[in-house]
Amino acid sequence: MTAEPGKVLSFQFTHYDLETCCDYVTIYDGPTDIFPILARFGGPNSTEDNPSKIYFSSTRKALVTFQSNEVIQKTGFSFNYFSVWTASPCNRDIVLNINAMADLGSQDNFLKELDFIAHKLTPTWQVGPSKTDVDYAVVWGSDTLSNNSILSETVMGLADYIGDVMDNNNTDFECIIKYSENAVSEFGKEDLLERDNIQKVVIAFVAADPKNAEDLYEGIEFAHELKYKDDSKLIVVGLGSGLNQSAISRVAYADGFSFYANYDKLDADFASKINAAICQNQPNQCGP
């Protein structure tokens, strides 16, 4: 069984009448029986004798099997299953590509970026292993950023970890998108403990225009790999005024996945727009 893109499966039994010893239903938390058992009702290694609640898969896919014999017949079982979200804003693996370059214009602007992420954007997420997994590029994986408080503390700690952003002035636009793609590639997937069958989202914070046409087109090429090879979604957050929005938005591959704000407008309303894009499915188009 497969949930709608970006969602997980819920199972609610409406009837259950089986011989506990020998007839049993198993729900596997994945597409085959090699995945962990989500629930087994009766039989060997049962988790419980009868369904007692609504059961949720941790990813988009699940397998339900039924084992029986011919000795005693009872009335059987029935259940409903649905595609649902069990996390806020939705079940996703999210990579934060935070900008720490001199393009921000000042250390104060860097702190405003961190404050927005730590205190406006991510507190609206339910961060956890089966909810919304969050990684910071290729530095911290989701096993380290295991809940909201740790995530916020880690993000704000970047001010001390990185130092003065005005000393960091050697990154092209292409490099930001390249780092984003690397984080969800096969190489990054293992390091960041990304889950199978959960949509991956990269939020890249950009503070400067591409330096030239080559810089832009190389960024678009990495964005293309991120979308089609890595099956991931890129959301671009432009910081500051005067950015070439039409050029930068091309790496987001669709309308509604690039956002722009001055540093004094990084507020809860801006965060809500990004959250909506996190949960929205991208159309199959080659640019906004």
Q: What is the pLDDT of residues 157-169, one digit of tens each?
A: 888 888 788 888 7
CA 34 to chain centre: 24
> Which tokens in the block code for residue 237?
């957050």
Domains of the chain, CATH where assigned = 8-84 (2.60.120.290), 92-279 (3.40.50.410)
Q: What is the pLDDT of residues 110-121, one digit of tens each?
A: 999 999 999 999
State how far the Cα of 21 lies from the Cα of 162, in Å rounded to an integer.
60
Q: What is the pLDDT of residues 248-282, one digit of tens each?
A: 999 987 788 999 999 999 999 999 999 999 888 76
> Are residues 125 and 134 in contact, defined by beta-carbon separation less than 8 angstroms?
yes
Least confident among 126-130, 138-142, 151-155, 190-194: 138-142
> Which tokens in the block code for residue 18?
């089986």
What is the pLDDT confidence band of residue 139, given thresholds at 50, 70 and 90? very low
Cis amide leading into 31 (omega within 30): no
Rounded alpha-carbon distances, angstroms, from residue 268 to 122, 123, 277: 10, 10, 15
Q: What is the pLDDT of residues 143-155, one digit of tens each?
A: 566 688 888 898 8
pLDDT, residue 11, reads 94
pLDDT, residue 255, reads 81
pLDDT, residue 168, reads 80
Quick count: other Cβ atoms within 10 Å of Cβ 230? 21
pLDDT, residue 195, reads 63
Question: 8-17 and 76-84: which strand pairing?
Answer: antiparallel
- Provide the whole-model pTM: 0.75
Give the residues across from 15 on adjacent strands: 78
> Are residues 157 and 98 in contact, defined by beta-carbon separation less than 8 angstroms?
no
Q: What is the pLDDT of residues 7-28, one digit of tens each?
A: 789 999 999 999 888 899 999 9
Please give the single-letter amino acid code of residue 222.
F
What is the pLDDT confidence band of residue 142, given thresholds at 50, 70 and 90? low
CA 31 to chain centre: 20
pLDDT, residue 144, reads 66
State how far the Cα of 174 lies from the Cα of 217, in Å rounded to an integer.
8
